[in-house]
Structure 1
Amino acid sequence: MSPHVLVLGGTTEARELAAELAARPGVWVTTSLAGRVSRPGALEGDVRIGGFGGAEGLAEWLREHGVAAVVDATHPFASGITANAARAVAATGVPAVVLRRPGWRPGPGDRWHSAASLTEAAALLPALGRRVFLTTGRLGLAAFAHLTGLHFLVRSVEAPEPPLPPDTEVLLARGPFTPDGEKTVLREHRIDVLVTKDSGGGATAAKLTAARDLGLPVVVVRRPPLPEGVTAVPDVASALARLDLSPR
């Protein structure tokens, strides 16, 4: 029986992994997307959209579809999905790999302020600047909604979910971005401080270079921890090396 691999996707790495798996003779790959983006990019293999109904629902799906391995290649901040996946594979005995691109690290000239959450990031802002470039995605912006004295430029792929801060300007854009382009955004909007999640990867890292070049402070929201006992690999090649895709 051809091995069936479930990729929990939504990232560039998940797309690359699906393409690698689909190109292997005899391998059946399904990528699952949460459905938060209305127009996801093209994917190789089968695609399913929507939740499973928690850890129990995912475990049942793994059994019903004869899944031989799971790769959790979701966004580093999709902690709920990762927790459910960890419980589901523990319940079913299906081998699993967590794929997480490495986080960003500050370098010489960076003025980073670490925050454990969006709420903590919001608390830091009044002391850092009045014009904020908020690049934490379209969800969770309620953490900033009480900040009435600041102007926010909110960038996301799709329209952000309310509530939003009262003085908010929305910029819809999808990466990858360039340092020069990011510096133009920062200058034109007279940004004082940048807020980002530690997503890692190159597609959106240019804003960090731009902020460093312009001497701007950056509030970086730390990643949530992985579930206890779960470790991650940093790239597609490492994930593939962990998978046992022999016919069953």
Structure 2
Amino acid sequence: MGTPRVLILGGTSEARELASELTERGMPVVSSLAGRVNAPRLPRGEVRIGGFGGPAGLRSWLAEHDITAVVDATHPFAERISESAATASELSGIPLLRLHRPGWRQGPGDAWHWADDLGSAARLLPSLGDRIFLTSGRQGLGAFAHLSSLWFLARCVDPPTPVPPPHITVLLSRGPYSVEAETALLREHRINVVVTKDSGGAMTEAKLVAARRLDLPVVIVRRPPRPAVSEVTDVRSALDWILHYSSKE
């Protein structure tokens, strides 16, 4: 049946690495990005930007473009596209693999406080501190807007819309970050609480190490549940899955 044509639902460093590995091997690959970042880091190979229109739209797109395998390598909090991919895979019979980046692990000296969502994270803050380093994304700033007695430094890749209230200062920046730079940033702004999502990965982990160095509490939002599909936790395993599938074609 020939070489499989792979769709990578991307936007992560793992997705870009996988696309590069497949391109190096001459395999047809399409990387799909949601389009939420103004200037995303583009992977090698063919790229499409934008949504599919839900599970039915994705199923139609897969058929129209002769896709034979799908790898969901989206951000751990991009639950909507993961649900669409699982449904479309089940309806079409096209195999689906989830490339699932492991979450961060709490270690000695970490003062972590877990929250189920951003609203729960916001409710924890008044008892923990009053100068908050917020790294949970621009789309969730509204969950903290009512906490006018607290001051926030919110780090985002792109400017948030609508404009946040005056007690939330926005820092536009993109990782990776070093421990030294993160430590200096926390000290400069007199931060006494860090808020983040359990994104995992090394690109933004430095803030957790910096918080540990400075004995700061960290509020971490748990990952949302994902559909039950085949999963791997590293690019090498995802590549092996594709190559194994290719050998059976």
Q: Name the TM-score, length of structure 1 as normaliser.
A: 0.96
The answer to whether the Cα contact below 8 Å between 2:11 and 2:73 also exists between their aligned partners in 1 is: yes
Q: Say if 1:122 and 1:67 are closer, same or farther in 2 by CA, change over 3 A.
A: same
Paired residue secondary structure (1:106): coil
Paired residue secondary structure (2:199): coil
Q: Which residue of 2 aligns with 1:59?
A: 59
Paired residue secondary structure (2:133): strand
Q: Which residue of 2 aligns with 1:242?
A: 241
Q: Which residue of 1 aligns with 2:17?
A: 16
| Higher mean C-alpha deviation, range 3-12 or range 40-49 | 40-49
Shift of 1:163: 6.0
Paired residue secondary structure (1:102): coil
Q: Which residue of 1 aligns with 2:85?
A: 85
Instruction: Kindly provide the amino acid, as one letter, of the partner of residue 59 in structure 1.
Output: R
How many pairs align? 246
Q: Name the TM-score, length of structure 2 as normaliser.
A: 0.96
Q: Which residue of 1 aligns with 2:113?
A: 113
Shift of 1:231: 4.2
Q: Which residue of 2 aligns with 1:44?
A: 44
Q: Tell me the distance in 1 between the aligned counterparts of 2:133 and 2:161.
A: 17
Shift of 1:90: 0.5
Shift of 1:247: 8.2
Counting only pairs closer than 5 Å after superposition, residues 1-248 of structure 1 correspond to structure 2 as: 1-25=2-26, 27-162=27-162, 164-227=164-227, 229-243=228-242, 244-246=245-247
Offset from partner CA, 1:163-208 (integer Å, 9 cap, x none): 6344011111111101110011000000010000000000100000
Paired residue secondary structure (1:35): coil
Q: Tell me the distance in 2 between the aligned counterparts of 1:72 and 1:139.
A: 22
Q: Tell me the distance in 2 between the aligned counterparts of 1:59 and 1:75.
A: 21
Unaligned runs of 5+ in 1: none
Shift of 1:150: 0.5
Shift of 1:161: 2.8
The answer to whether the Cα contact below 8 Å between 1:141 and 1:161 also exists between their aligned partners in 2 is: no
| Higher mean C-alpha deviation, range 215-224 or range 152-161 | 152-161
Offset from partner CA, 1:62-84 (integer Å, 9 cap, x none): 11111110000000000001001
RMSD over equivalenced CA pairs, Å: 1.2
> Sequence identity, in percent?
59
Offset from partner CA, 1:25-73 (integer Å, 9 cap, x none): 3x20000000011111232110000000000000000111111100000
Q: Tell me the distance in 2 between the aligned counterparts of 1:158 and 1:10.
A: 15
Q: Tell me the distance in 2 between the aligned counterparts of 1:162 and 1:131.
A: 22
The answer to whether the Cα contact below 8 Å between 2:9 and 2:74 also exists between their aligned partners in 1 is: yes
